Amino acid sequence: MWWGEEAAKGAKIAVWWDMKECPIPEGYDAGRIRPSLEAAFKERGYSGPVSSITAYGDQTQTPVHILQGLLSTGVSVAHTRSESTNYILYRDIVEWRGQNPPPATMMIISNQVGGDLSWDLARLQQRSQYNLFLAYSKAPCVLSVLSTSSRWLWEKLLGDNNNNRIETRSVQYKLSAMILCCCKSCNFDCQSPEKFRKHLSSYKHARQESVYPTYKEVNRVTETWGRNYAAAPEYATAKILVWWNMFDCPIPEGYDACRVRPSLEEAFKKLGYSGPVSITAYGDLNHTPEHLLRGLSSTGVSLAHTILDVTYKRMYSDLLDGQKSNPTPTNIMVISDTDTHQAFSTPLVRLVQKQKHNLFLAYSSRPCKMFVLLPSAEWLWHSLLEVSEKRKHVLQKCSSESESDRGGESSAMLYCKVCCGGQGPDYKSLDYLRTHLSSEEHAQEEYSITAFVQLKTKNRNLSLLAQYDREHRQQWRQARKHSGRVFFFFIIIYVDLELENLNPADVVALDVELKNLQPSGEIVT
């Protein structure tokens, strides 16, 4: 359950429906669309009013009885050119969000939510969280970045004409206050299906669609949003949890590890964040120099030993545990090249949509395309660590004082995230952690994980090869047989044309050669 779900259960519901992607099944009563949706919402515990259902599509192709069935139950119909449906549908969603603040529920019925619409909508959802329902005619083949409360297959959602979920009593919908028919090409609207069809067949409408451009690409409204925002009041003093992948973003050579925490805190303060900061650094501590580990731990940076194969998995697991023990609002910072690891970034996007977390990002190099993650601030790692010369002596003084105050002992948490399924104890001191990391038991655990990952990768590749063989081997065999037949067909034509020019000895030699070339019917694979 996400933080605003309870409030959304009694709030309004708006529906946007792509009729081409999710058509009305043949023989299905269009007048049952709205009751089917409302019944599904009630089954999930949502009792708020369905304020609008809008069906988008080329309405010149929609039979009159379908239009009448939809309109009779208060379902609005919007005419769009097929190639513009995504653009217009999403534009209307963005406009509705601007006029209807949460809590509220949005439902999108389309196969494009996992594609063209998802990137920008996921970023919008991270800024203003609405409850989200999805329906599609075929399930997406990849994990969606959108966090939803419910999902349905379109035909299962509708049921059949005898669907007993739907109350059989007739329901009268007030139509006078709403625009039911709209031509998005001409900005024409009316409430009469006859008048609507007359407009769609008019010369004026045909001219409008012919002359004016067709918008195919979804307008990504978040692309122009700024990178670093001043702290919102609800987050200004909230805790800041930092998860740092040292494999992706290592400490630069010659850099004082004691300056990492002060540099981060200074960057936060510049944006107005003053809450307590917790930092956990993940890396191969066996191969990290001793002075770096002591420099980090002396300033309260927790250290977690891990290996490359499981770093993201351990980071995300700890991030989940951290957000559970820290009620929202909370600031979360991820220092990692998350765009290169979809298995980490996609769940993180979904988490930020569910929980009211504020997100910061830092990475070793600018990603080649904009993140689907929507941070309130983001930095290049090396620029984040840069501290002005006038502050350097202050940081050095603080570092030396922190060392002496702690007597060289670490005040940070020290973990091994390889052993015990990543749930090992706090080793209290670097010496104890080093002793564990050099043990035979730990070495065996690392070997087991590496071997398992390699075996898993090998099995996945074998599975992909087997799938390719199932899909293509028969086609390949048929193509080989066909090419063989074509080859001999041309040989025969050539012989027919040239035979009269050959002497008897040449004919005998050609006959022998053809017999040698004749395929056995068996294709070597």
Q: Which residue, among 12, 259, 250, 9, has the nearest Cα to 150 in the 3D structure? A: 9
What is the per-residue pLDDT across 34-72, written as a single tens digit (0 to 9) for each?
A: 999 999 999 999 999 999 999 999 999 999 999 999 999
- Pairing outcome for strands 330-335 and 105-109: unpaired
- pLDDT of 32 higher than 50: yes
Instruction: Output the pLDDT for position 140.
Output: 79
Instruction: Output the pLDDT for position 311.
Output: 92
Extract the runs of DSSP E, i.e. beta strands, from 167-266.
181-183, 188-190, 240-245
d(CA 257, CA 291): 8
- pLDDT of 261 higher than 60: yes
d(CA 241, CA 139): 35
* Measured CA distances, 517 to 124, 337, 371, 503, 513 (Å): 66, 58, 59, 21, 6
- pLDDT of 17 higher than 80: yes
Q: How confident is the model at residue 404 (pLDDT cuts 50, 70, 90)?
A: very low
CB 438 within 8 A of CB 455: no
CB 385 within 8 A of CB 260: yes
What is the per-residue pLDDT across 439-478, written as a single tens digit (0 to 9) for each?
A: 999 999 999 999 998 888 888 888 888 888 888 887 777 7
Instruction: Output the pLDDT for position 525.
Output: 33
Across residues 64-81, what is the average pLDDT? 94
Q: Which 8-state DSSP code applies to residue 428?
A: S
What is the per-residue pLDDT across 205-214, written as a single tens digit (0 to 9) for each?
A: 999 999 988 8
Min mean pLDDT across 317-321, 371-375, 423-427, 497-501 is at: 497-501
Which residues have CB under 8 Å from 159's CB, separation 6+? 36, 165, 166
Q: How confident is the model at residue 104 (pLDDT cuts 50, 70, 90)?
A: very high
Helices (H), 301-439: 311-325, 342-354, 381-385, 389-406, 430-437
Evaluated on CA atoms 375, 380, 384, 390, the torsion sign reads negative
Q: Which 8-state DSSP code applies to residue 49?
A: -
Encoded tokens for 297: 């731990």
Q: Which residue, among 77, 64, 88, has the nearest Cα to 33 in the 3D structure? A: 77
What DSSP string runs through 366-399? --SS--SS--SEEEEHHHHH---HHHHHHHHHHH
- pLDDT of 27 higher than 80: yes
- pLDDT of 171 higher than 60: no
- pLDDT of 430 higher than 70: yes
> Cα-Cα-Cα-Cα dihedral of 245, 246, 252, 257, to 10°?
100
Distance of CA 43 to the CA centre of its chain: 27
Instruction: Output the pLDDT for position 492.
Output: 55
> Cα-Cα-Cα-Cα dihedral of 247, 253, 259, 263, to 10°?
-70
Q: What is the mean pLDDT of the chain?
A: 84
* Measured CA distances, 484 to 34, 156, 434, 476, 481 (Å): 58, 48, 68, 12, 5
Q: How confident is the model at residue 3 (pLDDT cuts 50, 70, 90)?
A: low
Long-range CB contacts (< 8 A, 24+ apart) of 314-322?
Answer: 314/282, 314/417, 314/422, 315/243, 315/245, 315/282, 315/344, 316/344, 316/347, 316/348, 317/422, 318/243, 318/280, 318/417, 318/422, 319/241, 319/243, 319/348, 319/351, 320/351, 322/241, 322/243, 322/278
Instruction: Output the pLDDT for position 367.
Output: 74
Instruction: Output the pLDDT for position 158.
Output: 94
Across residues 346-372, what is the average pLDDT? 83
Query: CB 58: neighbour CB atoms within 10 A?
Result: 16
Burial of 406 (0-12, 13-18, 19+ CB in 10 A): middle
Q: Which residue, among 20, 56, 49, has the nearest Cα to 34 in the 3D structure? A: 49
Encoded tokens for 94: 């963005």
Indicate the helix (H) or strand (E) that contains 135.
strand 131-136
Cross-sheet strand order for the sheet of 377-380? 377-380, 357-363, 330-335, 240-245, 277-283, 302-305, 414-416
d(CA 262, CA 426): 24
- pLDDT of 249 higher than 70: yes
Q: Assign 444 to helix, strand or coil.
A: helix
- If one compares 518 and 243, the residue with the highest pLDDT of the two is 243
Q: How confident is the model at residue 396 (pLDDT cuts 50, 70, 90)?
A: very low
Q: How confident is the model at residue 185 (pLDDT cuts 50, 70, 90)?
A: very high
d(CA 413, CA 389): 31
Distance of CA 362 to the CA centre of its chain: 19
Indicate the helix (H) or strand (E) that contains 17.
strand 13-18
* Measured CA distances, 479 to 62, 484, 514, 516, 517 (Å): 42, 9, 21, 21, 18
* Measured CA distances, 454 to 136, 444, 462, 465 (Å): 36, 15, 12, 17
d(CA 414, CA 400): 21
d(CA 72, CA 171): 10
- pLDDT of 406 higher than 50: no
Please, what's the largest Cα pairwise distance for the chain? 109
Query: CB 481: neighbour CB atoms within 10 A?
Result: 13
244 has which bridge partners?
Answer: 281, 335
